[in-house]
Structure 1
Amino acid sequence: MGEFPEGFPFGIMDVVNLLHLRIRRQQANSVYVDCPFCGDRRGKMNVNFVKDVWRCNYCGRHGGMLALYAELNHMTTSSAYWEIAEALCEDFQEDHMRSGDIPHTRQGSGTPFPGSRASAANPSAGQPKTVPQAERASPEEIHRTLSTLLSMLTLRPAHREHLRSPKRGLSDEQIDMLGLKSTPPPFLCRSITERLMKQGCRVQGVPGFYRDKNGQWTMSFYKLTSGILIPAFGYDGKLQGMQIMLDVPLKNKDDPPEKEGAKYIWFSSSSKKDGSGSGSPVHLIGDPHARVVYVIEGLLKADISHCLTGRTFAAIAGANNTEPLDSLFGLLAQGGTEEIVETHDMDKYSNQMTMNGALKIYQMARSRGMNCRRLTWNPNYKGFDDWQLSLRRESRRKKEIDKFTFKEKYLCGLCEMAHIEDCTEQWHRMDDNGVSLTGYLGLTKEEYAVFLRGGRDALCALLEPQRRKQRFTLYQLELDEQKAIPFAFKGISALKKSGCEQPPAAMYRLMWSSGFYCPAEQDDDAFLRRLFADCMERLPAGARGRPMAPSDVVELERDGRRTYYYVSDKGEMVQVKFSPLLAKKAAQDGGSLS
């Protein structure tokens, strides 16, 4: 195979042939096929092999070539890419999986790769080989084989440490309960498969198993796809399939370092001889008869969220991959579930595809007679599990404030003058560490002498001119439950990428006006950093709005002058132009979504 730096190693006609779609008629740049979605048999779906896109003129479904395969097989587009490539490209696994090269997506390209089985000029040329697939095993057989396989595997120490880390927050008992294991080395695949068969497990028709070139049964585990196996359990508690959380995300070798690659793939063998696809089963963890069930994107995210809250979660492998939920919702409704809680990541407010997936969950739940509501939380944390883990940690901000001297706290309005006596008592109880009382309080010798002579009132008169009250106003985006805002909870670069040079005030609402004490000479940057640190977890009691997060706008008022700052990534403040008269007035109900 040649190098394909600018295009996929296949075209949309390869996908059409792989899916066995019937071609009804052909045009210069496209063909018409029967639509596999609506079932119409009059050739209403147009497949443009120059642009590599499709659209059914009857039901309106449309998309690119990966979406065509992914939506029909209920999987993510990244999983679709690997299955298509492996099915169509001989030795793809050996040549490209070894190098980690994922060819670039070139929009509008219909140029086939060297040796491609499809051609934009002649889409019917070079039909791909059909890979014989095994008849799918029964759910009971799949459950037994995959469960026995997991019992033969171990969890590598590095994987266990990752799962126990603050990022995941699982205990050893929880890790074992969830059945998380490491993928085996490729050279053991055949021998493990033989052991399974000797124990009476069926491998034919079980996702992930196939016959190799020598006709021997083996498994599709590879060095480049090593990682942590995450079991997917169904409503009946049976193991339906497994995802792999990859040690190293699959990326194109020319991608910039900051670009994320594919992190999860299914354990599947649909492109192999006598193999079987995994599909994209819904993973259910918790009580299947719970009154309330949470729907979340990501199997591991569901497992962690269940361990943190004890609640029941249904996980889909992709925010827009909602079709497999319909049958599950039917079972849940029959089992007594009354309410579905949509718990997609907070980027549902900035990503329209994620928003669309969330809306489909509402429609499905209501069609099954269940209520549905949206869950939102502190937007500084993308996922529900991230947010829950943050609530378990001791506040880092509180630790920082505890290190402040009395004077620093007083000048920032964090304590009253009477607190000086508490600090004095604490100093007396401390071991001798060479710190004088004046140093511990943060006072100068002259200030401490004034305190000794005149008491708290005299010290207050001396310190009061050293602080000022900084007025500020917080503006936050008025979020739409159906239409995403591209820069919601994102930095200044996302704002500009959306086509806005300045934050559009008409999309904002005035949420909160107040004032904080600060040292009299403190500049705006230092005050804003403190404001964000104080308000990123929660706003003070009585304040309207969400915790302060990217895309918020802060107005500072000082000496009759108003300046405006956009909250960017990691709390960085960027001065902007803003028209407060265009912003909506403060909400009467508190205005908080969280």
Structure 2
Amino acid sequence: MFDYSILEVVRLCGLETVGSPSRKGEQKVKCPFVSGKTFDVNVTTSTYKCWHDCTGCPGNGKGGVLALYRMFHSECETNKDAAKQIHSALYGDLKTGSKDYEARKAQIIKPQKEVQKTKYASPDEIDGAYRVLLSLLPLKEKHKSNLLSRGMSAKGIEDGLYRSIPENKEEMYVLMQKLNDMNIKLDGVPGFYKKGNSYRISLPGLYDKNTKTFFYGSGFFVPSFGRNGKIFSMQIRMDDTYLSRFPAKQAKRRRYIWFTSSGYDSGCQAINRATYGVVDGTPRNAGNVVYVTEGALKAQVAHDIDHKHRQFCAISGIANSEAFRKFVRTQKKAGCKILVDAFDMDRNEKDTVKNAIDKLYAIAEEEGLPLQPFAWDERFKGIDDYLLHCRDERIQQQIIMEICKTA
């Protein structure tokens, strides 16, 4: 345990923070190497994490408080050197344990609110809780139209269990009243937490300090399915009307957010691992070939509209290398022989995307299940866009053939 906060180290490194720490203790910090980008430091865990995977970054994507300090103080050859230098800068000659030392420590480390932690519920309990939640929610017409515009069938939409989130206080109250009355166990289910003797749901919203108004989020749930067809996690795809309240860069990052209750009493962080496209509630698991892309919704759309009935899976983002490594190991153990790269084609335009995908290739190679490239027309960024184009072309050709037959 350090006798200082990572925020003090951020200050010693001459870095600039953005906003305030979140409920989970995450603080945005401006990147000193690339203009316009930020990385995260966590006040609770004393670690940093960057999601951009820029070429030549000295931070290696993540690390602890001492590694962060050494990044900007090359004279520190070891973590021990860094620890001594930080302590000297913050405490000077104060003797550890002395009255003056404790007074200084109280200034440096602001007490964090104690959050009652809980263990994850079992996979069956998480799956069951999410299915009950979704059964109580509608899929609003605007969200159904969004899914249909992607080429999804009515059956594919139902298979994916997409549902609209509550958009106001009344809808949220009615939902939680029903869930609490049903006496369903929600302890350890990400997205739920306890306040007093009742459960609450953690959904996105924005408080405008100027108008003193709270704006509820709007969007729809995107469930993530495991190899057994059980829901283990969920994301929320946010609507444009809600995102319009944020600056453009923030809005882009907030398009898909996790359904999580981390930072709340009895809350849990969302489970972040690879998701599987499902049909009739279960993955196809047909053959030895699996296609992997980015984003649960993209995988489910591709899974639904692909006329060749291939198995599509997804990690939450191309920077999520840890989840990808676990996914590769799972596929190898399950007997997968060919793992196909179906990640977006914008890698040819963006170095950060290309670098992240190159890293995934290296991981797959290390794990003994190399990624096989699957190139398509670059006019279509995602595999879902390309498969929709192919489907539309087939339909058009069939119409032309029918016209020729009757001519």
Please state which band the TM-score falls in when normalised by the shorter chain.
Answer: 0.5 to 0.7
**1:142: how far off?**
0.6
Give the aligned residue type for 2:45: L
Q: CA RMSD in A?
A: 3.8
- Structure 2 unmatched runs, 5+: 1-16, 22-26, 30-39, 48-59, 80-105, 205-214, 278-282, 398-406
Structure 2 vs 1, CA of residues 335 and 125 (structure 1 numbering), >3 Å: closer, same or farther?
A: closer
Distance, in Å, in 1 between the alignment partners of 2:228 and 2:77 is 36
Distance, in Å, in 2 between the alignment partners of 1:316 and 1:249 is 27
Structure 2 vs 1, CA of residues 15 and 330 (structure 1 numbering), >3 Å: closer, same or farther?
A: same
Residue-by-residue CA offset, 1:274-314 (whole Å, 9 max, x unaligned): 21110322111232353111110111111111112121112
**1:393: how far off?**
2.8
**1:191: how far off?**
4.4
Distance, in Å, in 2 between the alignment partners of 1:15 and 1:258 is 17
Structure 2 vs 1, CA of residues 195 and 20 (structure 1 numbering), >3 Å: closer, same or farther?
A: farther
Quote the sequence identity (%): 28
Corresponding residue of 2:289: 292
**How is 1:5-20 mapped onto 2 (pairs within 5 angstroms)?**
7-10=18-21, 11=27, 15-19=41-45
Bigger relative contact order, structure 1 or 2 (CA pairs below 8 A, ≥6 apart): 2
Give the aligned residue type for 1:367: E
Match of 1:235 among 227, 230, 236: 227
Q: Which has the larger radius of gyration?
A: 1
Distance, in Å, in 2 between the alignment partners of 1:335 and 1:359 is 24
Corresponding residue of 2:86: none
Contact 2:339–2:369, Cα closer than 8 Å, also in 1: yes
Distance, in Å, in 1 between the alignment partners of 2:241 and 2:310 is 30
Corresponding residue of 2:188: 205
Corresponding residue of 2:56: none
**How is 1:34-45 mapped onto 2 (pairs within 5 angstroms)?**
45=66
Distance, in Å, in 2 between the alignment partners of 1:258 and 1:244 is 16
Matched, 1:307 2:299: no
Q: TM-score scaled to structure 1, two decimals?
A: 0.46
Indicate the SS of the match to 1:230. strand
Distance, in Å, in 2 between the alignment partners of 1:57 and 1:227 is 48
Corresponding residue of 2:339: 340
Match of 1:221 among 203, 211, 215: 203
Match of 1:175 among 141, 151, 157: 157
Distance, in Å, in 2 between the alignment partners of 1:207 and 1:259 is 23
**1:136: how far off?**
1.4
Contact 2:153–2:304, Cα closer than 8 Å, also in 1: no
Match of 1:46 among 50, 67, 85: 67
Distance, in Å, in 2 between the alignment partners of 1:354 and 1:292 is 24
Matched, 1:142 2:113: no
Distance, in Å, in 2 between the alignment partners of 1:233 and 1:254 is 30
Distance, in Å, in 1 between the alignment partners of 2:178 and 2:158 is 23
Indicate the SS of the match to 2:186. coil
Indicate the SS of the match to 1:176. helix
Distance, in Å, in 1 between the alignment partners of 2:113 and 2:286 is 46
Structure 2 vs 1, CA of residues 17 and 386 (structure 1 numbering), >3 Å: closer, same or farther?
A: same
Residue-by-residue CA offset, 1:343-395 (whole Å, 9 max, x unaligned): 11111122233223322332333333324212221111111111121223359
Matched, 1:274 2:295: no
Corresponding residue of 2:99: none
Corresponding residue of 1:95: none
Distance, in Å, in 2 between the alignment partners of 1:253 and 1:218 is 25
Matched, 1:246 2:212: no
Corresponding residue of 1:152: 136
Distance, in Å, in 2 between the alignment partners of 1:132 and 1:281 is 25
Distance, in Å, in 1 between the alignment partners of 2:378 and 2:117 is 45
Q: TM-score scaled to structure 2, two decimals?
A: 0.66
- Structure 1 unmatched runs, 5+: 1-5, 22-34, 59-121, 399-428, 430-594
Contact 2:273–2:327, Cα closer than 8 Å, also in 1: no
Residue-by-residue CA offset, 1:71-129 (whole Å, 9 max, x unaligned): xxxxxxxxxxxxxxxxxxxxxxxxxxxxxxxxxxxxxxxxxxxxxxxxxxx99332332
Give the aligned residue type for 1:153: L
Give the aligned residue type for 2:184: C
Indicate the SS of the match to 2:145. helix
Give the aligned residue type for 2:392: R
Contact 1:249–1:261, Cα closer than 8 Å, also in 2: no
Residue-by-residue CA offset, 1:445-493 (whole Å, 9 max, x unaligned): xxxxxxxxxxxxxxxxxxxxxxxxxxxxxxxxxxxxxxxxxxxxxxxxx
Corresponding residue of 1:412: none
Contact 1:348–1:355, Cα closer than 8 Å, also in 2: yes
Indicate the SS of the match to 2:18. coil
Contact 1:249–1:260, Cα closer than 8 Å, also in 2: no
**1:253: how far off?**
5.2
Indicate the SS of the match to 1:46. helix
Contact 1:250–1:262, Cα closer than 8 Å, also in 2: no
Structure 2 vs 1, CA of residues 227 and 365 (structure 1 numbering), >3 Å: closer, same or farther?
A: same
